[in-house]
Structure 1
C-alpha cells in the first residue's frame, strides 16, 4: 500500500468514526420533554437537549430511576415518604462529577450545594411526598430532600439550608 493510500484510508476511517461514534454523533444529548418542564439544568454539563441546557419533565426525571425513603423534616409533622430521582443519578446523567450546584426556586431563592453531596443513599430531587405530587403551595413541584434520619451528618443547619423546595433550575458551576 502506498503512503497516499494509507493516508486516504486513515482519513476515511477518521470520518467514519466521527459520523458513527456515539459521542461524536450526539449520543449524550437528552430526549426532549413531552410534558411540562419542571427542571432546567445549565452550566458545566455534558448532556443537553435545549441549546446549552438540559430540560426535564417529570416523566424524564422518573425515567432516571426512582428513589423513595422515609424521614422526618424540620418543616413537616411526623415521618414523611419522599420519592424522586437521586441527585447522584441526575448528575451522572448530565456528566457532572465536580463543582457546585446553584439551585434556584421559583421565587429566585438560591442555595449552593457541593456536587460531593450527590452520593448513593444521599439527597433526592423529590417530586412526590406521601405518594402525592407536591403543589407549589406544598413545597413543589420539586424539593431537594436529604434522608435526614439515616445519617447524623444530615441533621445539621448546613444540610437543612441546602434543602431547597419549589426547585425549578440548577446551574452547575466549577
Structure 2
C-alpha cells in the first residue's frame, strides 16, 4: 500500500486528535446544559450525558462538533444544495457510543427509522443544520435533517437510505 506524505500527515494528525479528544471525553461524562433552545436529545447506550440519562444539544453545541459539508440533490428538493452539519458518527463518538451501536432516529411528528451501525460511516450521514449556508425551518425539513451524500455514490441512492434520511429530527436512541 502506498501512502502519500500529505495523507500520512493528515492521518497522523487525525490519530492525535482522536487520542487527545477521546482521552479528555472519557474523563468527562457530563455534557454542559444547552444555552439555547434544545434541538436534539440523545438517550440509550451513551456514556456522556447532560443529566445522567440523556444528552441534550442546542445549535451551538452541535456546531462545536466536527463538521462535514457536501453538495447533493435529494428526491425532496429541487436542484443541488449544500448541506452542512455534524457527521452522525462524530456525534456518537462525542457521547462515547460503541462503534457497533445502531440508532433509532425520531422526528418531531414521532416518525421513526432505524439506522444500523453499518450504515453509519465517518463522513455520512450528517445531521444537517444548514442548507445552502443558512439554518432551515421546520417548513424546510429542519431544523435538523439526516442527509446522505446521494450524488456521491449509487449506494446512497436506495430506498433504504432515503428512508433513513429523516427530517425534522429531534431524538436519537442508541442501541447496543
SS of the residue 2:39 aligns to = strand
Q: CA RMSD in A?
A: 1.7
Q: Taking structure 1 as reference, are residues 126 and 23 closer, same or farther at Cα in structure 2, changes over 3 Å only?
A: closer
Separation of aligned partners in 2, 1:120 and 1:170: 17
Report the counterpart of residue 93 of structure 1 in structure 2: 94
Q: Is the 8 A contact 2:71 2:149 kept in 1?
A: yes
Report the counterpart of residue 79 of structure 1 in structure 2: 80
How many matched pairs?
153
Report the counterpart of residue 46 of structure 2 in structure 1: 45
Shift of the alpha carbon at 1:23? 7.8
**Uncovered stretches (5+) of structure 1, i.e. residues with no partner:** 1-21
Match of 1:123 among 122, 125, 146: 125
Report the counterpart of residue 66 of structure 2 in structure 1: 65
Shift of the alpha carbon at 1:115? 2.4
Larger displacement relative to structure 2 (77-86 or 118-127): 118-127
Determine whether 1:105 maps to 2:133. Answer: no
Separation of aligned partners in 2, 1:31 and 1:91: 16
Q: Scaled by the length of structure 1, what TM-score is found?
A: 0.83
Per-residue displacement from partner, 1:41-79 (whole Å, max 9, x unpaired)? Answer: 000011101230000001000100221100010000110
**Uncovered stretches (5+) of structure 2, i.e. residues with no partner:** 1-23
Per-residue displacement from partner, 1:116-136 (whole Å, max 9, x unpaired)? Answer: 222123110000111111101
